[in-house]
Chain A
Amino acid sequence: MIEARNLCKYYGQHRAVDNISFTIEEGQIVGFLGPNGAGKTTTIRVLTCYQPATSGWARIAGHDVLTESLAVRAVVGYMPENVPLYPEMRVREYLRFRGKLRGMDRSTREAAIARAVQRCWLADVIDRPIGQLSKGYRQRVGLADALLHNPKVLILDEPTIGLDPAQIRETRTLIRELAQDHTVMLSSHILPEVEATCQRIIIIHQGRLVASGSPEELRERISGESKLIAEIKGPAADIAAEVRRLPGVSDVRSEPVDGWTHLSIAAATDIREELARLAGHKGWPLRELRREIATLEDFFVKIVSGAREAGHPSGGPGEPPRRPGKAAGKGPDEVRG
């Protein structure tokens, strides 16, 4: 439904989007995740025909965003970041105006407005000027506008920013409902947000695509990185040496904690059983043994901070960094969920 290949966008010398390729299948909810300034909005603006890419191409529902821009705009419902609206218009007037721009005749338009208003809980404010509405209501007006023409593709830029927790939950529920008959792409810089709503996550950082997959896949990718925490009493040097000898252990850090040795162990597999047996065998008391599963949050933070330190985004653990030049030829496989 949405296809992007090698998109690049420069603002003068600044590279906002650097060789991004992805494919989004029909009916998916895809989260576009990245820290502020990662290039999410720029990518979205290319997809919604607001700005052309410097190079690369994108297609929505089979139409090229540059050459068949009007056809793309007709099938896309777009809610920009911060939801720009005309404050002097009433909600109904605004939705009518947008309906007319979408080429709807009077009866379809009124039916569409009624449906959108009901879906976005706008009935209470339909005749109020937009300028008087709270942030939450404005957000809903923007969403109602994006939904008005029942678009195949919904693109929402930071849909829950500035909402209170109850409104965030309502919006998420609505987005999940919408995915039943729309393809939804939403951007966010908040991971739990994306994790809660999306079937697929595309993480971008510094204009590059750094990881992509379902939340489960991403989590799986990092589960190998899980840490074991253990506290054992005994000669510290021996303990570290013995543990290091266990299969799959790559790194052991130990520190003394009131007479005990606190170990944090990086291992490829779950070695709790072996570790317990080792402690029993040696006669070392064992008072704690747990596996710390890395969260997507850790993953996200790691990607973002790692890229920042190295000055080069890596694909995360288990995936070597991909050079854009090489990725060009096999764009789709790289990111298909």
Chain B
Amino acid sequence: MRNIAAIMQRELLSLFCSPIAYVVIAGFWLVTGVLAWVTDSFEPGQPATLRNVFMWTPLVLTIIIPAISMRSIAEEYRAGTIETLMTAPVSDAQVVLGKYLASYAFYVLMIAGTVVYLVLMEVFGNPDWRAALAAYLGLLLVGLSFTAFGILASSLTHNQIVAWILGAVPLLLLAWFAFFVVGRVEGFWREAFQQINVMGRFSEFARGQVGLGAVIFFLTTAALFLFLAVKVLESRRWR
């Protein structure tokens, strides 16, 4: 536990020392701001809800989250510090978990910044806090899964940019592709795409519902990606 905390703490320190963190966080806030504007969420007469903003957020996250996690393991490979890290008395799983938690903590901080919109709505109207809470729970869950995938991508390469692409492209495909294709196919494929339709799963939360299936989906995919990341890290030793 102490090892995980130490790695997480160091990782956060490095994140905040790099310009990427600030670019990412500013970019995310900018995009959500634009989303709030183009979806007319703050227009007079509109219902006081961020549902439309939340609806589109996972798409933004497919690009943003791999950018947060891209450096975590890739940079260790590149700088060679992986050697000092892996020869210290820490297990591979602890390394992956520490890095994961750091990226996730950063993500939570970033998401927390959008609460300001709700506060504004509270000032000027009467937002549905229960629905908003469900949506934030959904974002936290999506983040768990996406961050785990970002860490897996980062464990595959020593180049941060490659790690970002390896993370963002499959997530984009999952989010966009499954979302658009699911209505156009029939039978088995429809079933299959419904299972991996991240946007569809998230939309339940955006509408204010907490579905157990969706919760399990995000938790299990997060666990799977982390497990794979640990295996990738282990396999590095054998090469």
By a beta-carbon cutoff of 8 Å, the part of chain A in contact with chain B is 11, 45, 48-52, 70-71, 73-74, 76, 78, 80, 82, 84-89, 93, 97-98, 100-103, 145
Pick from A74, A87, A93, A100 the residue with the most CB of B within 10 Å.
Answer: A100
* B194 adjacent to chain A (CB < 8 Å): no
Is the CB–CB distance between B2 and A103 below 8 Å? yes
Is the CB–CB distance between B87 and A50 below 8 Å? yes
Query: Digit string of B227-238 for contact with A (CB within 8 Å is 1, else 0)?
Result: 000000000011
17 contacts between A and B (CB under 8 A): A49-B87, A50-B83, A51-B237, A51-B238, A71-B89, A74-B89, A80-B87, A84-B83, A86-B14, A86-B81, A88-B13, A88-B14, A89-B10, A89-B13, A89-B17, A100-B5, A100-B9
* B84 adjacent to chain A (CB < 8 Å): yes
Query: Which residues of B are found within 8 Å of A49, using beta-carbon distances?
Result: 86-87
The chain B residue sitting closest to A76, CB to CB, is: B87
Measured in the bound complex, the distance between the Cα atoms of B88 and A196 in whole Å is 30
* B119 adjacent to chain A (CB < 8 Å): no
Is the CB–CB distance between A102 and B87 below 8 Å? no
- Nearest chain B CB to A63's CB is how many angstroms away? 11
Query: Which residues of A are found within 8 Å of B220, using beta-carbon distances?
Result: none
Q: Quick one: which of A71, A89, A97 contacts B6, CB cutoff 8 A? A: A97
- Nearest chain A CB to B219's CB is how many angstroms away? 28
Is the CB–CB distance between A80 and B80 below 8 Å? yes
Query: Which residues of B are found within 8 Å of A88, using beta-carbon distances?
Result: 13-14, 17-18
Beyond A76-B87, A84-B83: 17 further Cβ-contacts under 8 Å?
Answer: A45-B83, A48-B87, A49-B86, A49-B87, A50-B237, A51-B237, A52-B237, A70-B89, A73-B88, A78-B87, A84-B81, A85-B84, A86-B14, A88-B14, A88-B18, A101-B89, A103-B89
* B221 adjacent to chain A (CB < 8 Å): no
* B159 adjacent to chain A (CB < 8 Å): no
Query: Which residues of B are found within 8 Å of A73, using beta-carbon distances?
Result: 87-89
For window 5-37 of B, CB contacts with A under 8 Å fall at: 5-7, 9-10, 13-14, 17-18
- Given A85-B81, A88-B14, A89-B13, A100–B86 Cβ distance below 8 Å? no
The chain B residue sitting closest to A75, CB to CB, is: B89
The chain B residue sitting closest to A142, CB to CB, is: B84
* B79 adjacent to chain A (CB < 8 Å): yes
The chain B residue sitting closest to A52, CB to CB, is: B237
Measured in the bound complex, the distance between the Cα atoms of B89 and A70 in whole Å is 5
Chain B contact patch, size range: 20 to 34
- Given A51-B237, A100-B2, A86–B87 Cβ distance below 8 Å? no
* B90 adjacent to chain A (CB < 8 Å): yes
* B126 adjacent to chain A (CB < 8 Å): no
- Nearest chain A CB to B72's CB is how many angstroms away? 12
* B52 adjacent to chain A (CB < 8 Å): no
- Given A52-B237, A84-B79, A102-B89, A145–B84 Cβ distance below 8 Å? yes
- Given A86-B81, A89-B13, A101-B3, A70–B237 Cβ distance below 8 Å? no
* B195 adjacent to chain A (CB < 8 Å): no
The chain B residue sitting closest to A45, CB to CB, is: B83
Is the CB–CB distance between A70 and B87 below 8 Å? no
- Nearest chain A CB to B1's CB is how many angstroms away? 11
The chain A residue sitting closest to B85, CB to CB, is: A101
Is the CB–CB distance between B89 and A93 below 8 Å? no
* B209 adjacent to chain A (CB < 8 Å): no
Measured in the bound complex, the distance between the Cα atoms of B80 and A234 in whole Å is 66
The chain A residue sitting closest to B95, CB to CB, is: A101
- Nearest chain B CB to A50's CB is how many angstroms away? 5
